[in-house]
Amino acid sequence: MFTLFGLFGGPARTADAKAVVTGAGSGIGRSFALELARRGGEVICADIDAARAAGTVELIGQLPTGKGHAVQCDVSDRGAIELLAKQAQEIFAGAPTLVINNAGVGIGGKPVGDIGFDDWDWALGINLWGVVYGCEVFTPILREAGRGGIINVASAAGFAAAPSMAAYNVSKAGVMSLSETLAAELNGTDIAVTVLCPTFVKTNVFTDGRITPASMNLSQQLARWTGLSADNVAARTLDAHDGGRLYVVPQLDATVIWHLKRHFPALYVRGAGLLGRLLPDN
């Protein structure tokens, strides 16, 4: 796992956490919730699908430690996030100690000009605005409490900028920039920020997203070859957060892309363009 030193240190923040996790009904979000419960935490499992959220809480109930609460929440709705914050403070009888803005969707397979504004709105509404709302609403609560942590789930797509993924790339690049800005603003406080930037993780993001058949097939193949399990990624991210890390780039392929992009930016863009021309048609 590649990590860059962050701005924060101090004791573990993920043990016995009072946590809010969005998109907790499946994938990485469910894995975050279960791992936090294993660490003795009490977790609000928020998801747009109430049944999936309840399923995560049921799994938490089978663990020897931890406690879960299911909450239905559409992260693209600012009012729903504001309500989630109120519910969290009521459930915890105070501020949460950890907020994980994880909810997201997959979209890809079309070049700019063919994507369509409905798909842009959908992707940015969930992937970017969902995180913006989470940070805007919960950061003042954590500031008032005097400590806590925020983990935002971005993607290596935020810096890889692969062709035919513009809406997804832009949404995740925004999450990265927001996280970096928030970390700078919170420097000197006892509130830590971590941004997760994986490539392929074995989740249902492909089947639940708006991805063309050819792109979905390629993504699923790459996930089988290079993807990590959601449980692995969640545990490593929580450990990195405890270690005060800002960036978490958990896979070798993402690490290579990270360094290529920064040391050879023009060459990287030409290479990405060539790769895009070699990809199968939609």
Mean predicted lDDT score pLDDT of the chain: 90
Alpha-helical regions (H) of 124-251: 129-145, 157-160, 166-185, 205-208, 213-226, 230-242
Q: Is residue 189 part of a domain?
A: yes
Q: What is the CATH number of the domain that holds 154?
A: 3.40.50.720
Alpha-helical regions (H) of 39-128: 50-61, 78-92, 117-123
Q: Is 243 helix (H, G, I), strand (E, B) or coil?
A: coil
- What are the pLDDT digits (tens) for 169-179? 999 999 999 99
- Asked whether the beta carbons of 102 and 195 are under 8 A apart, the reply is no
pLDDT at 279: 63
Distance between CA 44 and CA 19 in Å, rounded?
Answer: 6
- Asked whether the beta carbons of 261 and 268 are under 8 A apart, the reply is yes
The arithmetic mean of pLDDT across residues 19-23, rounded, is 99
108 beta partners: 211
Q: Is residue 4 part of a domain?
A: no
263: domain range?
9-278
Confidence of residue 276 (pLDDT cuts 50, 70, 90): low
The arithmetic mean of pLDDT across residues 37-47, rounded, is 99
C-beta pairs of 264-271 under 8 Å, 24+ apart in sequence = 269/161
Distance of CA 280 to the CA centre of its chain: 28
Confidence of residue 199 (pLDDT cuts 50, 70, 90): confident
Of the candidates 52, 50, 23, 24, the one whose C-alpha atom is nearest the C-alpha of residue 37 is 24
Number of domains in the chain: 1
pLDDT at 245: 96
Q: Is residue 28 part of a domain?
A: yes
Residue 64 burial (CB < 10 Å; 0-12/13-18/19+)?
exposed
pLDDT at 14: 97
- What are the pLDDT digits (tens) for 107-146? 988 999 999 999 999 999 999 999 999 999 999 999 999 9
pLDDT at 4: 42
Q: Is residue 82 part of a domain?
A: yes
Which residues are annotated as catalytic?
A: 168
- Residue 8 pLDDT > 60, yes or no? no
- Where is pLDDT greater, at 63 or 261? 63
pLDDT at 274: 82
pLDDT at 217: 65
Q: Is residue 235 part of a domain?
A: yes
Strand intervals (E) in 73-160: 98-101, 107-108, 148-153
- What are the pLDDT digits (tens) for 220-237? 565 566 668 899 999 999
Q: Is residue 122 part of a domain?
A: yes
- What are the pLDDT digits (tens) for 70-113? 999 999 999 999 999 999 999 999 999 999 999 999 998 899 99
Q: Which two tokens stand for residue 268?
A: 């990287």
Q: Is residue 1 part of a domain?
A: no
**Those residues with Cβ within 8 angstroms of residue 18's Cβ, 6 or more apart along the chain or in another chain:** 41, 42, 88, 92, 94, 95, 96, 97, 98
